[in-house]
Each structure stands twice: as C-alpha cells, then as structure tokens.
Structure 1
C-alpha cells in the first residue's frame, strides 16, 4: 500500500498525459491487494482510468470553449479592418491566453450573421476562424468539434 501512496503522491509530477493511467493503476493495485482478487483489481483499474480520463477530457473541453468564446466575443465587437486584443482568464490561472483579433469580413445571410477573422495567441502565429451570432451572443463556428452536439466525441 505504501507503493500505491508513493505513486499517488508522484502523480502531479507526471502531468495530465498519464494521470488517468497512474490513477487507474494505483486503484487497481489497491483493490486487487485488498480483495485478493486480480480480476476485481483489473476491473477497478479499467473503470477508474476511464472515469479519470473522461473528467480530464471534460476539463479540457470547458477550457477550450472559454478561449473560443473570448475570441468570438472580441470578433463580435469589431468593425471591418479593426484590430483588438482578446484575453481569457481561467478560474484556475494556468494556461491563461491572450492575443489580437482582426475582422476580415462579415457575412450576412437570412440564416445567420457570421464574421471571419484572423486571431493570434500570445503574439504568435495568426489563425483564421469564423464566429456567428447565436442567441444574442457571438459563438465560435470554425470547426465541428466546437459544437455541443458532438458531446463526448469532442
């Protein structure tokens, strides 16, 4: 059990990439040791890993959606050709981003009002994206994974 505790204490050093694997392994070893049943330990390890990975995926999606919403809101407030700074401050202040956004064109149709813009992240490369007006707000519209209907597949 002391090995499992040592692995758990080292988990923050490993980073998010292996967090689900290490957590699943620790839970499986502990359960297998406590029950004396390797099959139960394996099942608990697989279930724990799946649960932790789903939680991490959800957290990444929420943070990405926050960044996309910040860029989209900045796009919504621009006039054609105007440049403005954008910034996102997450609740947990890791990975806060900022950059510039430049409105390229506006596309108004009977179905939607959308804007195409260039944006940068932390004064780096420039990317192109599209934001559309939805329910009185501007929302990221560039790629399918940003759409809620994909659910857990994002």
Structure 2
C-alpha cells in the first residue's frame, strides 16, 4: 500500500476489519480494502498534513485531525466530508471518539484539548494543558475519565 506520496502518520482499522484508513503529510486520508489491498477511497479537503485518523465506533465515519487546525469527519463510502469541527488555533495532533461515538476529544500543538458533542457539532469543554503540545488523549471504558498525553 504505497498510495501516499509523503510520510504516513497514522492508521486505523474499521470495526469489521475490512478497511484500513491511513493519513499522511500529503494532506490526504485513504481507505484501503483489506481483501484486495487496493485504495478504495481518497479523502481530500485538508490544506495541511493529516496528523491522525480513526474510525467512529459502529459507523462508516472516518475522523481526521490536521495541521490546518481542523478536525473533520468523512463518510467512508462516498469520501465526502460530513462535518468539520473548527475552533483550534494551532495544528491538531490527535482526535478520537468516546466508546459510544457521540463525543470527540481533540488535541493541538498549543496544549489545548477540546471536547465536542458530535450530535450538535458543538464544543462543550476546553482544557489548557499548559505550554507544551497536547499529543494524544483517550477515554476510559466508561467514557467518564479522560487521559491526556502532553510534552510536559
């Protein structure tokens, strides 16, 4: 699978395992059919490196975090952008869903972490981790505890 023309930063499997999604410094995200090992979809729209990719649980939605300061949700089947989450002032390093798929946590290079309600496309909490980048975040199994990895 060599369809990207620059470094690949992250990858994730679809829940059923039939697709692998990848994201790259080349500003694209790609979905590969695991049966044929061919690229079936290319997601275009970010104007900077796509730094992280994951799948929404129990759906065909792909989530990307980009250096263009946005987090976007894409339809795996059509390749179209379903929603873009605006609000970061610096490059987004990471974005993931909670287990239910109704909340997103996103992190940026300025140390800002945001929680978003997917259903109404609204930010409902911002956490400032300090002077260092917020590199990653994850929810525990209950969805009530959030862990944040940062440079400090």
TM-score of Structure 1 vs Structure 2, range by shorter chain:
under 0.3
Question: What is the TM-score when the length of structure 1 is the normalising length?
Answer: 0.26
Question: What is the TM-score when the length of structure 2 is the normalising length?
Answer: 0.27
More helix by share: 1
More strand by share: 2
